[in-house]
Amino acid sequence: EHRGRGLMPEALDAVIDAVFARTDIDGVLWECVLGNVASMRVARKCGFRYTGVQPGQVRGRDGEASASWTGALGRQDDRSVKSGWPAEA
């Protein structure tokens, strides 16, 4: 019942703001398992730049790297929606 209300993009924006405000980290990397369209849409809405499909850094339950959609957001990047995301976005 909470899907589609913009809660996750709002939450992710708050976390990113806190990371940049409280640390000297220059960028945030993002990934989700290939096919997780809902997570991809959240990252896109938050201004991440799509960086492709790569083996995931977060291992699956079986210990293997899953193919993942990946993105990046720099401290100085604007948070507007970027082009280049897969059509599912």
Per-residue pLDDT reduced to its tens digit, 2-51 = 777 789 999 999 999 999 999 999 999 999 999 999 999 999 999 999 99
Q: What is the pLDDT of residue 83?
A: 95
Give me 24's structure tokens.
Answer: 């000297």
CA distance 82 to 47: 6
Q: What is the pLDDT of residue 58?
A: 80
Got the DSSP string for 1-55?
--TTSSHHHHHHHHHHHHHHHHS---EEEEEEETT-HHHHHHHHHTTPEEEEEEE
Q: Scanning the structure block, which residue is given the tokens 């401290």?
A: 75
pTM score, two decimals? 0.88
Dig out the tokens for 83 from the structure: 């082009």
